[in-house]
Amino acid sequence: MSHNNTLEFLAGASSALQGRARVPGDKSISHRAIMLGAIAHGTTHITGFLEGEDSLCTMHAFRAMGVAIEGPEQGRVTVYGVGLKGLKKPHHALDCGNSGTAMRLLAGLLAGQDFASTLVGDSSLSKRPMKRVIDPIGQMGAKITASTGGRPPLHIPGNTALHALHYQLPMASAQVKSSVLLAGLYANGQTVVTEPAVTRDHTERMLRAFGVQVVSEGRTVRLLGGQSLHACNINVPSDISSAAFFMVAASIAGQADITLEHVGMNPTRTGVIDILRLMGAKIDVFNAREVGGEPVADLRVRNAPLKGIVIPEELVPLAIDEFPVLLVAAANAQGQTVLTGAEELRVKESDRIALMAQGLQACGVQAKPTPDGMVIEGLGHEPGLRYEATHIDCQGDHRIAMAFVVAALRARGVMRIQGAQTVATSFPGFVEQAAGLGMQVRAHQPPGGPK
């Protein structure tokens, strides 16, 4: 996949947002549906699959290991499962692209195979820390080797008799928890993972949908190795992390009344709604239902005068991916917002604390980064109050790019956002959907584009 590093977004102010949108499928669930469908017995039918580059990397990886997969065709994917032990040795390194989820979960799943494998990623992923999965998987018996500092590529030995593990996660991370649980499927005995704070539980829910007995008690999850998975149908909810951009946009716009359909409402992911409501946002949840073990609902969001808050630390892991745009909400609120306990943001696709602080400061917002968060003095919501548009390089971080498109709603002038090409990894069609709701944004290829 050629990454064109010169795609820009040009975004400006907009007075009114209205309409309905169904944002693309949840990335976390799309990855897991392919992985579990591949090692299940029988045929798994997936609808609402996210056709972004990250989830497609996971699909290509399993095709390279001999799994027949049809699609994606308008979000429909068919996976012909090969069972727990049916994967074949790939002829080349498996490319995880920009996806930390793919690499961390695959590391656990591949540790239990009887063949060796290698995981590689793009330049951004190759800088991200993998030691946090290498260590627990190593304690189960699989000695994964990596580059300096525990960074990709990862070499996974295979042919290892894995033994079960009682693992205390040093930090709240759903990816590490999931990686250990997937390795646990291939281990002798009962694998137990305890986390310091609750994180997203898509892996546990989906394992149950595939017929695996997984016991969750508080912050502890248990799973007995050797259980078979049985194919099922997965209807992927819309990604709440993608919906969050439009929730904040509608909240800070001069006038707005939008409806976001079929949004995933997993309680481990709804921190963004809780935080926005604490700030005074008007978000109504209706038509709640359950699809494939995951709760979904429709959300109606209207403009509201937001106020600054001290963000409760227990909500931080439940909204970790949404902070770039939540910080934009804070910049538009009345008074001070304080974020703490979010050091995880410094090791995402970029150092999101540093980049958001720089971008907001360039707009004239008082945003002070701290080691584990930020203090923001909000602009307030009087219609005449605006900050300055700026030129920002989001360094290929998709969530920073989209956050500044939302920030442009209250800016004077045109916000120029460089490095927006990775938005396709998590939110294909973002510009079209944003424009459809009334936001002023277009993608722009500067002259002298990609060589």
Q: Hey, what amino acid is at 234?
A: I
Q: 416, 422, 408, 255: which is closest to 325 by C-alpha?
A: 408
Q: Hey, what amino acid is at 115?
A: F
Q: Is 321 in the active site?
A: yes
Full DSSP string of 219-280? TEEEEETT---B--EEEPPBPHHHHHHHHHHHHHSSEEEEEEEEEE--TTTTHHHHHHHHTT
Q: What span, in angstroms and rounded, lies between the C-alpha atoms of 191 and 183? A: 9
Helix axes 100-111, 27-38, angle to 10 degrees: 20
In sequence order, what E strands does 74-189 have?
76-80, 94-95, 117-120, 145-147, 151-156, 166-168
**Cα angle at 104 between 423 and 206, to 5 degrees?**
85
Contact 327, 338 (CB under 8 A): no
Q: Hey, what amino acid is at 370?
A: T
Rg for the chain (alpha carbons), in Å? 21
Residue 102 has φ and ψ, to the nearest 5°, of: -60, -50
**One of 54, 95, 201, 321 is an active-site residue; which one?**
321
Q: What is the DSSP letter of 384?
A: T
Q: What span, in angstroms and rounded, lies between the C-alpha atoms of 2 and 267? A: 36
Coil, strand, or helix at residue 26? coil
Q: 22, 14, 178, 198: which is closest to 109 by C-alpha?
A: 178
Q: Hey, what amino acid is at 120?
A: V
Contacts of 116 (CB under 8 A, 6+ apart): 89, 155, 156, 157, 158, 159
Long-range contacts of 282-290 (CB under 8 A, 24+ apart): 282/251, 283/247
Contact 325, 244 (CB under 8 A): yes
Assess whether the previous peptide bond of 72 is cis (omega < 30° from 0).
Answer: yes
Which residues are part of the catalytic machinery? 321
